[in-house]
């Protein structure tokens, strides 16, 4: 494959990767998990292809420098655009991650607060007693037997 062919393919992969990053960035709020998995798969494949092309081009430095300045300038400009798209994507992903972490922490706090409230259970003798908390916020009936309930229909 000639240097010109590699440059052409790198441009194509870079445009595809930039397009994918932009779609992912704008779709983070609305993507279903299955759609996001598809984005990750596609992004991984394009990223590997991009990296392979960059490595091949670096090994052909002489030929790359011999290319017309116009082509090299276009490639530098494209790389700058790609870096900006990747930066925006990274910020969006970090924001989504932080939001998810805050949501999970809020849920954990709510569950812990709810589990600290007074909870009443009934023992075998049908007497009410205060439940004690076991591991993971579960209530434990400390009487000698388990709790029973009766469902009678008239």
Task: Encode pLDDT of 94-145 as tens digits.
Answer: 998 898 899 889 988 888 877 766 666 777 777 776 655 554 445 554 444 5
Contacting residues for 4 by C-beta, under 8 A, at least 6 apart = 67, 71
**CA-based angle 108:109:111, to the nearest 5?**
65
Q: Picking from 5-19, 67-81, 118-132, which range would have the lowest pLDDT averaged per residue?
A: 118-132
- Average pLDDT over the chain reads 81
By C-alpha distance, which of 62, 55, 44, 43 is closest to 9?
Answer: 55
Ramachandran angles phi, psi of 67, nearest 5°: -70, 155
For 20-41, what is the mean pLDDT?
84
Burial pattern 50-85, b for ≥16 Cβ within 10 A else e, equals: beebeeebeebeeebeeeeeeeeeebeebeeebeeb
How crowded is the C-beta side of 43, counted as CA atoms within 13 Å? Answer: 17
pLDDT at residue 68, rounded to an integer: 92
| Beta carbons of 104 and 36 less than 8 angstroms apart | no
Q: Which two tokens stand for residue 91?
A: 């910020």
**pLDDT (tens digit, 9 = 90+) per residue, 119-132?**
667 777 777 766 55
> Rounded to 10 degrees, what is the CA torsion of 71, 77, 80, 84?
-130
Verdict on whether the full-model pTM lies above 0.85: no
């Amino acid at each position: 494959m000639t240097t010109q062919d590699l440059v052409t393919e790198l441009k194509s992969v870079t445009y595809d990767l930039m397009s994918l990053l932009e779609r992912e960035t704008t779709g983070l709020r609305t993507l279903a998990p299955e759609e996001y998995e598809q984005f990750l798969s596609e992004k991984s494949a394009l990223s590997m292809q991009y990296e392979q092309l960059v490595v091949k081009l670096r090994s052909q430095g002489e030929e790359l420098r011999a290319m017309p300045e116009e082509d090299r300038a276009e490639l530098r400009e494209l790389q700058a655009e790609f870096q900006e798209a990747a930066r925006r994507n990274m910020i969006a992903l970090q924001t989504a991650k932080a939001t998810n972490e805050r949501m999970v922490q809020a849920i954990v706090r709510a569950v812990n607060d709810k589990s600290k409230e007074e909870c009443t259970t009934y023992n075998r003798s049908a007497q009410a007693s205060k439940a004690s908390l076991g591991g993971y916020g579960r209530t434990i009936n400390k009487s000698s037997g388990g709790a029973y309930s009766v469902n009678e229909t008239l």
